[in-house]
A and B are shown apart, each in its own frame.
Chain A
């Protein structure tokens, strides 16, 4: 409270206000400053702190040289004309130059036009570097502080009064900002980099190969891979397969995608059947080219290609969060005419590699007449093997992986199930392949929001049956599940998240973050059109939107009313206001030189029967000058004000 009282009396000079504004706008940029520039800034700050007079020409020249050296050292190596073609390096150079120029001007202790507008330049530059939720919060804070400082400058450095006025202005502006944000036409390029090259960020990632040996990476991590927002409710858990890559080639210890030499006719498109699902995805950097789409994708995503295996890829590896809207059909199969190349590759197997499995396959072949029968028998075979689903399998004999898994170890997870199943299907003459991606169990979902984590990574099989590629959940053939291994693996990553309340809270936070990202940070022209389209179809949405906006306006005006309320020197004077306004209506105005006692005496003379008015006068003196905190006195004062006002209103002298 003492601090607030102190703040109330504080009057800052224009230079101090500017300093505060600079501190606020430079904070996010400090993170990206190189050590030499940080040292330069510290030196400038130290000079400003210890030397309270304007810097001499020699000092200014020295600082200029020092700034030049700091700039050179900061950009040493990266700094060349070719380096300038990288947008962020160019912006970094701008920040450094501006910092040196501002430092030189600040040291003269003279405010000029450029010193006044530079905080806004720093703010605009920082927006090139950061786009996250934290920056969103910070931008709102920065905008408010800059407004506060401008008003403080206009109000003779009275930061307390300026704060109240800034709040009023901020709240006046808020509804406008909301309306503009939603409806302002977004005719923009997508992160254009005119003449600038992309940044060469290198991240680790998977390469679309599925390993069966010790390289098989089990990631029971809670790191979010992607977030999905469905337009309607989330589909059932057993349909939540997100396609990644399709693997055809068995390389003993791992599976690979189609070799590059395998030429296939592309873009043969067969519309998938089933319930249409619309959803939006935020995919975090994977350093892969795949966009994960719900099985089965109906059409390609903007700026991505959808191949005949319904695999969606982008041209460059994903190194920044990607947002895309997609449509899929909830179907476990899709129609396809198999070409020779695909047929050959998807039926290829080495009988010598897994002789035991091959022998068994031959037995099934002899007893089966149709493909469907073969598959049923294969499923039955897997179930009969008493396989255990575990995240801690014993190492397989990689040279005979299917035999080793089915007849020896009998313990594995999705990759082992899928690999063995596909191999045996091929032995039965059925074209088969492995699909890798993610499978969610809806445990991380809220309303229409679904978070896909690394631990949801999955592999399943697709068999070509009667002109269709059909999905088979191979892990479903497991007779038992080793829950211990799953729990143990999970506990390695998230021992503290066993608390369901914590998990729920975490999910809500993720959901909020997702919504902020979806509706604020990555709000776009497409989303704008979708919103309008949705509004056209749903009058209730329009009503809800208008009602929310009205609530926002009312809320803003309540805050404005709070900060614009008149302030009185004492509580008693504040309590007296209703009576004073009644008297004002009756034509009694308190003169400036008149004390309240004199004024009330003057009024009382015209209302001799109004005892309450005289009581008000007496009690006002008591409350103001006797410094009493007695609640009864306050209550009596309040009651007498009411009585006196009533008597005056009905003109009862």
Chain B
């Protein structure tokens, strides 16, 4: 009784749509019936009844195949406007039996196929998603689909949960290196360096200290600008371009600073953000919500 209740519950959560093969089954049933009707062949009747019963039992089996799956959004990465990202979902099979031929559809029609999910296990899938606008976005209307077992019906199970995330501005503009080089005013000559260090292959060849090399020591020139920590302050109001391009530029720099572990300050009209106080995600969120 309990399993019947569970089945009814599962059945309610599934929608069934006819496919072209259901039409084939109907035509086949009609053809076999005509053959049996006109010629009274019991073998045809038996085949007819089998086809009918298979089509009939395909429904509950398909429902059980899909109904025991439970999908939810997993921990996501960062989303940037116009950057293709992956929206991660976990699909759990609560049944002890394997579920077959599952397709996960996103709201924009993109899909990912998974041949099977073993009983009592979880599979992780990712849908491709490209945000078009910065700020908070909602991803909904995802559903699981399966044509198991006979392809006569397309069964879909909507994923009730919606994902609310933030799309950060598209990181674009001039690179941080370019920005720094523009900001720096190099006074003096290249030969005015702060000391020598051993060449390890990573330094620029132009920084090689040829005088040492001539003596047989592989040394490179060390400049203070390389060792000093840059004091980067990105002031929104001082930047060129419209709001969106400024935010995109700031996003690019914030990400570059994060990568290079450089301290920085972002000054928005009414907000001052720095990694000492806020996390990078919070800074990006502030930019996204601007």
Chain A positions near chain B (C-beta within 8 angstroms): 117, 120, 123-124, 127-128, 130-131, 135-136, 139-140, 143, 147, 150-151, 154-156, 161, 165, 168-169, 172-174, 176-177, 180-181, 184, 186-192, 194, 520-524, 564, 566, 592
Contacts and interface: CB of A to CB of B under 8 A. Distances in A.
Given A136-B43, A154-B101, A161-B98, A173 B56 contact: yes
Nearest to A135: B43
18 contacts: A117-B24, A120-B28, A131-B41, A131-B43, A135-B43, A140-B46, A155-B100, A169-B54, A169-B149, A172-B57, A176-B56, A177-B46, A177-B49, A186-B40, A188-B40, A189-B40, A190-B40, A191-B40
Contact of A181 (B24, B49, B148): B49
Of all A-B residue pairs in the complex, the 8 with the closest CB atoms, nearest first, are: A173-B53, A176-B53, A172-B57, A180-B49, A188-B40, A566-B96, A177-B49, A192-B38
Contacts of B116: 155-156
B8 interface: no
Contacts of B28: 120
Nearest to B40: A188
Nearest to A178: B49
Nearest to A194: B38
Nearest to A519: B42
B35 interface: yes
B154 to A, nearest CB: 12
Interface string B18-61: 00000010001001100111111111111101111110111011
Contacts of A181: 42, 45-46, 49
B49 A184 contact: yes
A124 B45 contact: no
A390 B89 CA distance: 91
Interface of B: 24, 28, 31-32, 35-47, 49-54, 56-58, 60-61, 96-98, 100-101, 115-116, 119, 121-122, 147-151
B53 A189 contact: no
Contacts of B37: 187-189
Given A124-B32, A124-B35, A128-B35, A169 B49 contact: no
Given A180-B52, A566-B119, 16 more contacts: A127-B41, A150-B149, A165-B61, A169-B54, A169-B58, A172-B53, A173-B57, A176-B49, A177-B49, A180-B49, A181-B46, A189-B37, A191-B40, A192-B39, A524-B40, A592-B121
B147 A154 contact: yes
Contacts of A140: 46
B6 to A, nearest CB: 15
Contacts of B56: 173, 176
A154 B42 contact: no
Contact of B46 (A139, A186, A190, A191): A139
A523 B46 CA distance: 11
A192 B40 CA distance: 8
Contacts of B50: 143, 173, 177
B39 A191 contact: yes
Q: Which of A165, A168, A188, A564 has the most CB of B within 10 A?
A: A188
Contacts of B49: 176-177, 180-181, 184
Contacts of B42: 131, 181, 520-523
A189 B61 contact: no
Q: Which of A124, A155, A173 has the most CB of B within 10 A?
A: A173
B112 to A, nearest CB: 15
Contacts of A173: 50, 53-54, 56-57
Given A117-B24, A154-B147, A187-B37, A127 B57 contact: no
B47 A172 contact: no
Contacts of A520: 42, 46
A630 B45 CA distance: 55
Nearest to A525: B40
Given A120-B28, A150-B150, A188-B36, A521 B43 contact: yes
B7 to A, nearest CB: 13
Contact of A169 (B24, B47, B57, B121): B57
Contact of B148 (A124, A130, A154, A180): A154
B151 A154 contact: yes
Contacts of B98: 161
B149 to A, nearest CB: 6
Q: Which of B28, B36, B50, B151 has the most CB of A within 10 A?
A: B50
Q: Which of B31, B47, B61, B151 has the most CB of A within 10 A?
A: B47
A143 B51 CA distance: 8
A139 B54 contact: no
Contacts of B121: 592
A524 B39 CA distance: 12
Contacts of A127: 35, 41, 43-44, 47
A177 B53 contact: yes
A140 B51 CA distance: 11
Contacts of A169: 54, 57-58, 61, 149
A139 B47 CA distance: 7
B149 A165 contact: yes
Nearest to A181: B49
A278 B276 CA distance: 103
A406 B194 CA distance: 149
A522 B60 CA distance: 33
Nearest to B148: A154
Contacts of B54: 147, 169, 173
A143 B52 contact: no
A161 B100 CA distance: 10
A486 B98 CA distance: 67
B61 to A, nearest CB: 6
Contact of A168 (B43, B61, B122, B147): B61
Contacts of A524: 40
Contacts of B53: 172-174, 176-177, 180
A117 B151 CA distance: 13
A128 B45 contact: no
Contacts of B96: 566
Contacts of B46: 136, 139-140, 177, 181, 520
Q: Which of B38, B41, B42, B151 has the most CB of A within 10 A?
A: B42
A128 B149 CA distance: 29
A139 B36 contact: no
Nearest to B115: A156
Nearest to B64: A564
A173 B52 CA distance: 9
A524 B42 CA distance: 8
A172 B56 CA distance: 10
Contacts of A184: 45, 49
Contacts of A566: 96-97, 119
A613 B14 CA distance: 41
A128 B39 contact: yes
Contacts of B101: 154-156
Nearest to A192: B38
A450 to B, nearest CB: 23
Given A155-B100, A169-B149, A189 B38 contact: yes
Contact of B149 (A123, A154, A174, A592): A154
